[in-house]
Structures are given as C-alpha cells and as structure tokens.
Amino acid sequence: MRIGELARRTGASERSLRYYGQQAVLIAERAPGGHREYTEGAVDRVARIQVLYAAGLCSSKIAQLLPCMRDTDGGPSATADARLIDDLTAERDHIDRMIDDLQRSRAALDEVIDAAAAPAAHGPEQPARGR
C-alpha cells in the first residue's frame, strides 16, 4: 500500500510516516516510480510506534525495542536482552516519576483554584462603609 493509504488506515500523518522511515523504525520498499510501498504489517507496526512515542521513548530506543515485541501472531519475540529490559525498566520508572510530579502539580493547582473560587462563591466584596 502507498503512504496515503497507510496514513488513512493508521491516523498517522504522511510526514510522521516519512519520519519513521528516516529513523529506521518503519521500512518501505520503493516502487519503480519511486513511491513508498508498505506491507499490510505496517499498519500494526505504526500503531506500536505511536504507542512507544506516546510513552516517551526516543526513536533509537524504539528501533531497539520493536524487534523484541510480540509478533503479529501473538507469539513472543526472543530477541530481548537483559540490557534492553533494564533500559525499558528505567524508562518506565522515569515515567512513574513524571506522573508523580504531575499529580503533585495538579494538587497544588487545585488548592489555588479552590482558594480563588471561595470569595467568588460569596459574591463580589463590598467596600467597607463608615458609620
């Protein structure tokens, strides 16, 4: 299939698909006219790539990880090694720390919102009148 069809089927932009190719995480054959041609398996591969990018992994880590992921038939891939597992565990721990930081930031923001909303709930303040 051509790049436009792959983009339509995956929701990824053509620009993203070209970038994935530049980063060697998505392979395309070249048709005689120079057009990129993708196999049916590219649809699943793009979905995996998008999940890994969303998880915060860089393209070099994704290139390392993709061959280690489950094959399309559901069977495990045997190419993962201890170093990759350690690297991915460190990435997951980093994401957990970022989530904790974001939750603390959200809690602080909630406190500020609650404090700012309290006077508004009682209506605008009236200036004090002298007797």
pLDDT at residue 106, rounded to an integer: 96
pTM above 0.95, yes or no: no
Ordered per-residue pLDDT tens for the chain, 131 residues: 999 999 999 999 999 999 999 988 888 888 888 888 998 889 988 998 998 888 888 888 888 887 777 655 555 566 667 777 788 888 889 889 999 999 999 999 999 999 998 876 666 655 555 54
In three-state secondary structure terms, 92 is: helix
Residue 104 is predicted with a pLDDT of 97
CB atoms within 10 A of CB 66: 17
Tokens of 34: 């120079």
CA gap 97, 116 in Å, rounded: 29
